[in-house]
Amino acid sequence: MSLPRMRLLVLLAAILSGQSTPSLSPTGNETAGIAARQACTQLESSLGPLVQSSGDAYEAAATNAWNLQNAEYQPTCIVFPRTSAHVQVAMKAIYDAESHYAVQAGSHSAMKGWNTVQNGVLIIFSNMKNASYDKVADSITLQPGIHWLEAVTALEPYGVAPVGGRVGGVGTGLLLGGGLSWLSPSQGYAADTFKALDVVLVTGEMVTATATNEYADLFRALKGGGNRFGIVTRYELHAVHTGTKDAKTYFGGQIIYNSSAEALLKATARYVREVNDPKAVILVSLINMVVAETLVPLYFVALFYNGPDLPVDIFGDFLSIPAVTSQLGPLSYLDVAGSLGLGDGRGFVQHFGASALVGDDDLFLDAFNHWSNFSKAFQDDFNTTTLAFTPIPDSQIQAGRANGGNIIDAPSGGFAAVQIYETFRSGIDDIPADVQRGIDVLFEQIPPSPGLPLYLNECDSQQKVFETYGGYDELKDIYAKYDPTRFNVRHTQGPVGL
């Protein structure tokens, strides 16, 4: 059988069955290229200069992705919508042409292929970055292109903040993966603060989903479902009254250590087991920097308390471990939100992986030992490797439930989201096969504790995160309802398991 004829049959089979998962490889294929060109031609005529297939704006946007792997794709065209209506037009053209596509908001995804596309249409939200506060409704409205430090800075004069990401350059994609925030211990996952969402479905139809209207199921799925359920073009969120920049109502900062891993791991495990104060929040990052072919430890704890000091019964262990530097003091929420910087270093490969652990000393020490072995085994490839712990206290889980619950549906009781994060040295533009095998070995060595959900925003693209959600079965049903032809799964990359 000739090749073109075979391709046609494969395509037909895919359409008829509605089930197959065609190749979404970075290079795509000819058939995909033809479909994308058809969508782009249609969009050039309906949206004019909001669609670019080459030139400076195109190149700048295509190469801007945070992870170098994603900066190397060349979408067939890029759409720069200014309104939800533009997104509807784009999505309908993509759907009608059966084109591959991707959506990019903050650009900060580490997952290869999740925020860009080859032989497909890329929708980029760089022209939709508004933030506003409605005092009467006490809600914040964000357009999808804004980044977290921009949003917090824009809303600080009103004394309010959204529950958003901890790294300033991250964008609103964080919300769709659940989202961990400095405000999470009191407010829940970032997605738990949704009030209303404008969602463009795969067909181009737009709906507004809330906790109580006919799209309540979709609303719930968007609290953890990532990019699989539609394109959110407007987020209406509960406002948190964090104060203006003059209100130094927080205390904390950062402590840096260069040894004492065991003491730090035990302090972190104890924190996870015992601390359930919604005013307290920490992030513990054990980093190995590769300097002159050796691993140099740099262990970093960010710790904040919504109060005048750091209570010793909560933070005492961290305060008593010998540190290299310690920068602690009174802070506004704007200070807290800016404390990790923008995290926008570009031009190298970034990779995430996820686990989730209950607060058990031995589990934490085991994870560290496996990660240390892994770091050493591939140190020639890395610039930095990181093992990070974010406690998710029971107060966070209960706050989410009180607000209607999310599809992650974590069990009661605290645990830690564990992030395994590598940056690669310059000169490496894709993850070498042996390193990926090492990563997979590491995932087997540090499995999530039974029943705990993985954090979508810090996973490897192949990890089966949805399967770990308490609401997995419900998620599959909601997906089948809103995308009966499985268009999203067949035409864009993202979390597996639907």
Residues that bind ligand NAG (CB under 6 A): 7, 10-11, 14, 22-23, 29, 31-32, 35, 100, 130, 132, 258-259, 289, 291, 324, 348, 370, 373-374, 377, 383, 423, 425-426, 438, 441
Q: Of 35, 37, 33, 31, which Cα lies nearest the Cα of 10?
A: 31
If the CB atoms of residues 239 and 475 are measured against ligand NAG, the closer one turns out to be 239
The SS3 assignment for 279 reads coil
Query: Any idea which residue has 């999740």 for tokens?
Result: 114
Q: How far is the CB of 123 from ligand NAG (least distance, A)?
A: 17
Dihedral class, residue 496 (left if φ above 0, else alpha if ψ from -120 to 50, else beta): beta
Q: CA-to-CA distance for 118 and 36, rounded, in angstroms?
A: 9
Phi and psi at 120, nearest 5°, equal -165, 180
Q: How far is the CB of 158 from ligand NAG (least distance, A)?
A: 9
Query: Any idea which residue has 């969402």 for tokens?
Result: 197
Distance of CA 298 to the CA centre of its chain: 24
Measuring CA to CA, how many Å separate 97 from each of 34, 152, 208, 227? 9, 39, 25, 20
If the CB atoms of residues 112 and 129 are measured against ligand NAG, the closer one turns out to be 129
If the CB atoms of residues 10 and 328 are measured against ligand NAG, the closer one turns out to be 10
Residue 450 near residue 408, CB atoms below 8 Å: no
Q: How far is the CB of 463 from ligand NAG (least distance, A)?
A: 17
Q: CA-to-CA distance for 45 and 13, rounded, in angstroms?
A: 31
Q: How far is the CB of 295 from ligand NAG (least distance, A)?
A: 11
Task: Indicate the residue whose CB is closest to ligand NAG.
Answer: 22
Q: How far is the CB of 56 from ligand NAG (least distance, A)?
A: 26
Q: How far is the CB of 466 from ligand NAG (least distance, A)?
A: 22
Q: CA-to-CA distance for 397 and 452, rounded, in angstroms?
A: 12
Q: How far is the CB of 326 from ligand NAG (least distance, A)?
A: 12
What beta strand segments (E) does 267-376 contain?
280-291, 294-305, 325-331, 350-357
If the CB atoms of residues 23 and 45 are measured against ligand NAG, the closer one turns out to be 23
E strand or H helix at 264, and its extent? helix 261-274
Q: How far is the CB of 90 from ligand NAG (least distance, A)?
A: 17
Measuring CA to CA, how many Å separate 370 from each of 281, 296, 435? 26, 17, 14
Query: Any idea which residue has 């209506």 for tokens?
Result: 85
Residue 197 near residue 235, CB atoms below 8 Å: yes
Q: Of 221, 481, 447, which Cα lies nearest the Cα of 354?
A: 447
Q: How far is the CB of 138 from ligand NAG (least distance, A)?
A: 15
Residue 412 DSSP class: S
The SS3 assignment for 65 reads coil
Q: How far is the CB of 128 from ligand NAG (least distance, A)?
A: 8
If the CB atoms of residues 31 and 74 are measured against ligand NAG, the closer one turns out to be 31
If the CB atoms of residues 127 and 373 are measured against ligand NAG, the closer one turns out to be 373
Q: Of 474, 475, 470, which Cα lies nearest the Cα of 495?
A: 475
Q: How far is the CB of 351 from ligand NAG (least distance, A)?
A: 13
If the CB atoms of residues 128 and 280 are measured against ligand NAG, the closer one turns out to be 128
What does the buried/exposed string (b/e) look like for 325-361 if buried means 16 or more CB atoms within 10 Å of the residue's CB? eeebeebbbbbbbbbbeebbeeebbbbbbbbbbbbee
If the CB atoms of residues 287 and 392 are measured against ligand NAG, the closer one turns out to be 287
If the CB atoms of residues 55 and 322 are measured against ligand NAG, the closer one turns out to be 322
If the CB atoms of residues 359 and 438 are measured against ligand NAG, the closer one turns out to be 438
If the CB atoms of residues 27 and 54 are measured against ligand NAG, the closer one turns out to be 27
